[in-house]
Amino acid sequence: MSEFKHLYDDFKPEHYQIYLDINRETKRFEGKVTVTGEAFATDLAFHQKDLAITAVVVNGQTVAFSLDEDEETVNFQISAPSKLTVAFTYSAALTDNMTGIYPSYYEVCGVKKQLVGTQFETHFARQAFPAIDEPAAKATFDLSVKFDEQDGELIVSNMPEISNENGIHTFETTVKMSAYLLAFVLGDLQSKLGQTKNGTKVGVFATKAHKPQALDFPLDIAIRVIEFYESYFNVAYPLPHSWHIGLPDFSAGAMENWGCITYREVALLADPDNSTLATRQYVALVIAHELAHQWFGDLVTMQWWDDLWLNESFANMMEYVAIDSIEPNWHIWEQFSTAEATMALNRDAIDGVQSVHVAVNHPDEINTLFDGAIVYAKGARLMVMLRKWLGDTDFSAGLHTYFDKHQYGNTVGRDLWEALSKTSGRDVSAFMTSWIDQPGYPVLSVSVEKDTLVLRQQQFFTGEGVDKQRLWQIPLNSNWTGLPDVLSKAEVRLPNFAKLSAENGDKPLLFNAQNAAHYLVKYSTDLNEKIVSKIDSFDHITKVQLIQSALKLAEGGLSDYADLVELLATFDNESSNVVNTAMTQALNALKIFVDESSESEKNFKTFVGNLFEKQYKRLGWDKIAGESFNDEQLRALPISWEIYAENADALTQSSALFAKHKADIHSIPADSRPLVLKNEITENETADLVRQYFEAYAKTTDQKFQRELNLAVSSTKKMATVDYILSQYRKTALIKPQDLRFWFASLIRREFSQAKAFKWLTENWEWVQEKLGGDMASGDFIEFIGNVFDTADKLNEFTKFTDSFKDEPAFKRLIEMAKTEITSKIALLGAQKEKVQIALSSEIENVPKKV
C-alpha cells in the first residue's frame, strides 16, 4: 500500500445527496450520490470499497475514472481546483460482516425475518456510498431510501422522515457531521416513545421477537440521561429526536450514530420479569455512554483517529457520572474500580501497550485503536483523575466552553486542554500530557528512612519491560495534609515524618484516595502493616484498591502472591459487593497456580469455601423483599464460589432449582440461572442435557441467556462435547458471527478444552477473518490466547500460528503484547507457584476446625 494520505486535503465536502434502493431478497442495493464541495487539487480521490461504480459526473460532465481496490478509492481528474458537484452512480452487495449496510436476521414465532441496518464507524461509510470517509470531512446529508417494503415495516434514520412518495422515504437534512455517523435501520420494528422536558423525542425500537415491556427501562434511562447531560454540559441536545435501536446482529456493543443509536440487543433491552440488577445497570451505562457521544464525538469530533480518546475516554467516564446522578443508590462509582480500573491496570502494565493518544499511519491500524482497556478504560480513569484534580465545577464549565467553541467542528487534544485551563486557571496540558502520550503507568513507592518520608516513581510492568525512565505528573491524593499536591520528579524526600504523622492523628498513610488516579502504591512493610491493621475501618473503594495493588504488585514481581493470599483471608466476613468482586478477580488470578484435580486445587477450594461461607449463609439463594441493592448484586458471588468449593448445600440447592425449572430453564431466576446451568453440566452432564441447552440457545431471543448457555455448556468435562461445540462454530444460523468470540473465549480459557479450541482457530483463521476481519472483533482472538497460554510449548505454537500475519498493522501490536504476556506467565509460574501453594496450605491450617 502506498504512503498514507488524507483525502480531505484535496476535497472538502459540504453536502451529500444520497439515494439508495435496497433489495433484501437479492442482498444488493443501487445508489446515486451527489456531493458538493471544494476541490484543492486536480487529481481527486473519494473513498469507496466494493462499489460497482458505473458513472462519475463532474459539474454535469461525465469523466473517466479508475478504481484502486488496495487504496479503497475511486480516482478521477478535473481541469482546475474549484467548487464543484460530483455525482456517482453505482451498485453493491449488502455485506455479511456487520459493516457498511448489512442484513440482520431473527425469528418471530418460527418465521424468519430480516432487518437492514448500518455500521459506518470507523471507515465503512465507503461501503455504502463514495465519500471522503474521514472524521474531519464534516458535511450535511440528505438521505432517501427505497426498499422492498412490506406492510407494517418502517425505516428510521438520524433525522425525522419528511416524505414517503412512491416508496421512497426521504429524511430531513442532517446537521453538519462526519460520514461515519450517518445511519438508518429498516424492517418490522416495534417502538416505545417519550420525550424530554425540553421537547426532544426519544424512542426505543426493537424487533417484535421481544416483549414490549423490555423497551420501557431503556426509554426511561435515555430520557433522564439526556436531561442530565443538557444540564451538566449546559448545551442543548441538538437534534429533534434520539432513537435507540436494538439489532439482532451487531458486532460492537453499540454505535453512537447521531440521533440514531444502534445497539446489540443485550446492551439495550431489559426484561422486567426476569432480569438482574447487573443487567439493568449494564444497559443504563451503555445508553449513557452512547448519549455522551452525542456531544463528545458527534457535536464535536476528533480531527483524526489518533485522538479517538476525545470520544471514547470521555464517554466512558461520563456514563458513570450520568448514572450516578440519576440512580445514586446504585453506587456505580464503586463498580468503576472493579471494572474500568481493573481492566486498565491489567493491560497497561504490559510492555509494548499503546498510549491513549497514538499515531495512526495506516488505515488498517484504525480499528486497533479501539482497545477497551486503553482508550476506553484507561482513558476514562485519566478523565476521572483530571475531574478530581480540577474539581467538578471547573471541569463542567470547561466542557461547556469546549462545546460552545467547537460545536459542529473537529478538535485535537490541546483544544480540550485549553478550554479546561481557561475555566480552571490551571495548566491542564502540563498535567495531562505525560498520561495521554505515554504508555503504561507508574508505581509510587512509599517508605520512611531516618524520619524522612521518601516517595519514588517508576514505570510498573508485569513481565519483562524496558524502563525508559518515564515520569508522570502523579496527583498524590493523600489522606494526610501537609504533603505535595503532585509528584513530578523521580523522587522526593520529605523530612520530619514523625511530626507529620502526629499532625495527622497517626492514622495510616494512604495515597491515591478513592482510587481516582491511574497508578499503584507500594508501601514499605511497616507502613503496609499499619494499613492492614486498620483495614476494617476503610471504605469499600479503599479495600478494593488494596486488593488490586496486592495482586498487581505480585504480578510485577514487587511482592509475593503469598502476601495476597494472606490479605484475602482477612476479608472472610466482607459484605460489600464491590469488595467481593475484587476478591473474586484476585482469586481467579490465583487459579493459574493451581492444577486441576490436584491437592493444591483441593486446598484452594477449601480456602475459597471458607472465605465466602459467611456471606453464603447470610444471603442464601432467594431474594429478600426490601433488601439492599448491594445484597441483591452480591448473592451470586458467594453461591458461585461455594458451588466451586463443592459445598454440599450449594450443590443440592442448585440441583433442586434446575429440577424445578427443567421444563423451562429460561424461567430459572436470572440472578442464579448462570450458576445453576453451569453446575448442572459439571455435575450431571448427559447428551440430552447438552442437546437441551443448544435447543434453548437456538430458540431464545434473550442474548444474555444465550451467553449463559454458552458458558455453561463450555464448562463440560467431556471431550466429545468439546468436539460438538467446535463443530457448531461455523453454523452462523445458530452461533451468530457477533457471538463467535465469546464461544471461543469460553473454551480457550479452560485447560481441558484449550488445545482443541486453539487447533480450531488455526484451521479456521481465514474464515474468522472473512466474517469478522472488517471490524475490531478479530483481534480479540489473539488477546484471548495471550491471556491464557502459559508454557513455552504454547508460546511456540502461538508464534508459529501468527508468523504469517505478525507484521500486519491490524495485528502487529496485539501479537507482540500477547507474546510478552505469555512469557510473563511462564516466569510467574516458575517463581511463585510453590509459594502460593504453601500459603494456601498455611491459611487452611489457621482456620478453626469445624465441629
Q: What is the pLDDT of residues 594-617, one digit of tens each?
A: 988 889 999 999 999 999 999 999
Asked if the model's pLDDT at residue 519 lies above 70, the reply is yes
Element (H, E) at 394: helix 392-406
pLDDT value of position 774: 62
Contacts 24+ apart (CB under 8 A), 59-64: 59/84, 59/85, 60/85
Strands 241-247 and 201-207: parallel
The arithmetic mean of pLDDT across residues 475-488, rounded, is: 97
**Phi/psi at 236 (5° precision):** -65, 145
pLDDT value of position 845: 80
Catalytic (active site) residue 683: no
Asked if the model's pLDDT at residue 809 lies above 90, the reply is no
Least reliable range by pLDDT among 178-192, 673-687, 764-778: 764-778
Which residues are 453's β-sheet partners?
Answer: 448, 494
The arithmetic mean of pLDDT across residues 439-445, rounded, is: 99
pLDDT value of position 2: 46
Specify the higher pLDDT residue, 360 or 9: 9
Q: Is 14 annotated as belonging to a binding site?
A: no
Amino acid at 784: F
The arithmetic mean of pLDDT across residues 759-772, rounded, is: 93
The arithmetic mean of pLDDT across residues 709-724, rounded, is: 98
pLDDT value of position 529: 96
Q: Is 312 annotated as belonging to a binding site?
A: yes
> Under a CB-based contact definition with an 8 Å cutoff, are residues 539 and 507 in contact?
no
pLDDT value of position 796: 98
pLDDT value of position 810: 85
**What is 328-437's CATH topology?**
Neutral Protease; domain 2 (1.10.390)
pLDDT value of position 436: 97
Please list the residue range(s) of the chain that carry CATH number 1.10.390.10. 195-295, 328-437
pLDDT band at 61 (very low <50, low <70, confident <90, very high): very high
CATH number of 444-521: 2.60.40.1910
From the number of C-beta atoms within 10 Å of its C-beta (0-12, 13-18, 19+), residue 216 rates as middle
CATH number of 195-295: 1.10.390.10
Asked if the model's pLDDT at residue 549 lies above 90, the reply is yes
Amino acid at 774: G
Q: Is 293 annotated as belonging to a binding site?
A: yes
User: pLDDT tens digits, residue range 79-137?
Assistant: 999 999 999 999 999 999 999 999 999 999 999 999 999 999 999 999 999 999 999 99
3-state helix, strand, coil in the chain (%, to 5): 50, 20, 30
Give CA–CA dist 427/88, Å, rounded: 49
pLDDT value of position 367: 75
Least reliable range by pLDDT among 23-32, 361-370, 382-391: 361-370
Mean pLDDT taken over the chain:
96
pLDDT value of position 361: 75
Contacts 24+ apart (CB under 8 A), 558-563: 558/443, 558/522, 559/522, 560/832, 560/835, 560/839, 561/590, 561/593, 561/832, 561/835, 561/836, 561/839, 562/835, 562/836, 562/838, 562/839
Specify the higher pLDDT residue, 851 or 443: 443
pLDDT value of position 848: 55
**Helix, strand or coil, per DSSP, at residue 529:** helix
Q: The pTM is what?
A: 0.96
pLDDT value of position 851: 32
pLDDT value of position 850: 43
Q: Per residue in 228-253, is it b (16+ CB within 10 Å) or e — as a string?
A: bbbebbebebbbebbbbbbbbbbbbb
Please list the residue range(s) of the chain that carry CATH number 2.60.40.1730. 1-187
Check whether domain 1-187 has CATH 2.60.40.1730, yes or no = yes
Tell me which of 72, 121, 227, 290 is the catalytic residue: 290
Amino acid at 245: I
| Helix pair 577-590, 561-569: axis angle to 10 deg | 150
pLDDT value of position 776: 59
pLDDT value of position 802: 97
pLDDT value of position 772: 82
pLDDT band at 773 (very low <50, low <70, confident <90, very high): low
User: pLDDT tens digits, residue range 566-586?
Assistant: 999 999 999 999 999 999 999
Please list the residue range(s) of the chain that carry CATH number 2.60.40.1910. 444-521
